[in-house]
Amino acid sequence: MRLLMISASAGHGHVVAANSLEAWARKLYPDAEIRNVDILDYTDVIYRKAYAASYLRLADSAPELWGYLYNTSDRKRAKKRQARIIRAYDHIEFRKFRAMLREYQPDHLICSHFLPAQVLRPYVDKDWYNFKLHLCITDFMAHSFWAQPNADSYFVASGEGEEELVSHGVDRKRVHIAGIPILGKFAQSYSREECAAKHGLDPSIPTVLAMSGGWGAAGMPTLVESIVQHSPVQVIAVCGRNERMQKRVAELPVPADSKVAALGYVNYVHELMALSDLCVTKAGGLTTSECLAMGLPMLIPNPIPGQEERNAEYLTECGAALIARSPGALRYKVGKFLGDDGLRRRMRQAARDVGRPRAGADIIRTVVEGK
């Protein structure tokens, strides 16, 4: 059996989802032949850079425009003439991708981005198109771009996502509510005390994991300053590869009864989640699914219009997240959360109820065994 995971590096989440699916597949079916590729690696460098950067640049520099384009395209599919132009261009641009499929001859294509299905749609009658194609949607809602008629099955994260696909013409029998695939380490239980000791942190005081500050480059330091006003509190600020921001956070004044840990890039975020009470994060499908799996409530600052805003709305409806649309609202809601034990318990339970820590395993089993 040959399995091919396909992502597109247009946003980090699609690649992480494909990596998660690959890890679950290797664990569940060790004898299977498995590949994991980025479809953009089979295009020329200009196309690859333009496609990969388009969302990130628009969402960062013109979020309202991105939201308008996202929502408008969800309601209006491309006209026939536009679709013909796109197909003609794809025929040339993705010839290396099609050649790889003919060489590898997979049994199943599992896609964490809609682009592979869109590219392959005109070739369903070709003799080399002898595989099953599965789409794994990486947000809690389903944009119309995912409604590709050549897909054999769709994996969504919510009942609302299922209804959206059906409204776009997808046969309900092909849709499975499975969740968003995340790595197996988020499906395990961890001791708060052991994780705190391992990383030099205090398990006895309320802890906020800050993954995103919102509102641009000054967001993280401003966020940390807001949180430590509610002392005693412990803040874990993950600054990624932004060394300047990490230095700024590390130099902030902190009350004597509180603590701030300014971290760079980490590969143990699951352990940080295990010792935290609240995660301040963007509303990407992968990170929020990891929080849900760990039973970790979220506070989402200023969600980007489009898929992240829709994710945030879904998570708040489920009771697992709060939204703050201004720095003042964020400061207030952090204080409200930290000061209300009942709210903390309810949101933690809501996160556990919605979380699907083994979504990747369920998706792979359904693909392979057809159940």
Every domain of the chain and the residues it spans: 2-180+358-369, 185-354
Superfamily the domain 2-180+358-369 falls into: Glycogen Phosphorylase B; (3.40.50.2000)
pLDDT of 292? 98
Tell me what the mean pLDDT of segment 7-26 comes to: 94
> Residue 45: which pLDDT band, with cuts at 50, 70 and 90?
confident
pLDDT of 73? 73
On the question of pLDDT at 326 being above 90, the answer is: no
Choosing among 3.40.50.2000, 3.40.50.1820, 3.40.50.970, 3.30.565.10, the CATH entry for 185-354 is 3.40.50.2000
Tell me what the mean pLDDT of segment 166-179 comes to: 96
Q: DSSP per residue over 46-103, as a string?
A: HHHHHHHHHHHHHHHH-HHHHHHHHHHHHHSPPPHHHHHHHHHHHHHHTHHHHHHHHH
pLDDT of 67? 76
Of 220, 244, 242, 224, which Cα lies nearest the Cα of 233?
224
Tell me what the mean pLDDT of segment 195-210 comes to: 96
Q: How far apart are CA 194 and CA 163, in angstroms?
A: 42
Edge to edge, the sheet with strand 153-156 lists 33-38, 2-7, 108-111, 132-136, 153-156, 175-177
- Across 23-32, 139-148, 247-256, the highest mean pLDDT is recorded for 23-32
On the question of pLDDT at 318 being above 50, the answer is: yes
pLDDT tens readout for residues 74-90? 665 554 545 554 555 56
Tell me what the mean pLDDT of segment 331-357 comes to: 95
User: If you average pLDDT over every residue of the chain, what do you get?
Assistant: 90
The two three-digit tokens of residue 371, written as one number = 């159940």
pLDDT of 91? 58
On the question of pLDDT at 288 being above 60, the answer is: yes
Fold equal for 2-180+358-369 and 185-354 = yes
Burial of residue 63 (number of CB atoms within 10 Å: 0-12, 13-18, 19+):
middle
On the question of pLDDT at 227 being above 80, the answer is: yes
